[in-house]
Amino acid sequence: MNFELLKRTFPTSQIDRYCDGYKIIIENSTEEERKSWGICDDDIQKIINVGEKYMYQVGKEKGKFKTLTLSFKNFEIIRKFLKKLDDE
C-alpha cells in the first residue's frame, strides 16, 4: 500500500457518522481471531456519536485522496491486534 498521510486531526463529531475502523477490523480479521482477542463483534464501534472525539485523516493513495474516520476504541483494536503495536 502506497499511502501518504497529508493531515490528521482530532475533531469532535457534530453528527452521527460511520466509523471506518469497523470495516477495517471486520475485513482484516476472522470471527475466531476476534474471539481469541477477547472481542465480540458487538464491541466494535460502528457509529461515532455526536459529541464524541474521533480521528480524521486525509491522505493520498495511488494518486487519489482518501479520508478515514476512526473512533478511538476501534483505533486501539487496530493498533493492538491488526498492526501488533502495543503502547503499554
Per-residue pLDDT band at 3 (split at 50, 70, 90): confident
H/E element, 21: helix 20-27
Asked whether 12 and 63 are in contact (CB, 8 A), the reply is: no
Give the tens place of pLDDT for each residue, 14-58: 999 999 999 999 999 999 999 999 999 999 999 999 999 999 999
Q: Model-level pTM? A: 0.87
Nearest CA to 19 among 37, 43, 39, 38?
43
Beta bridge partners of 65: 60
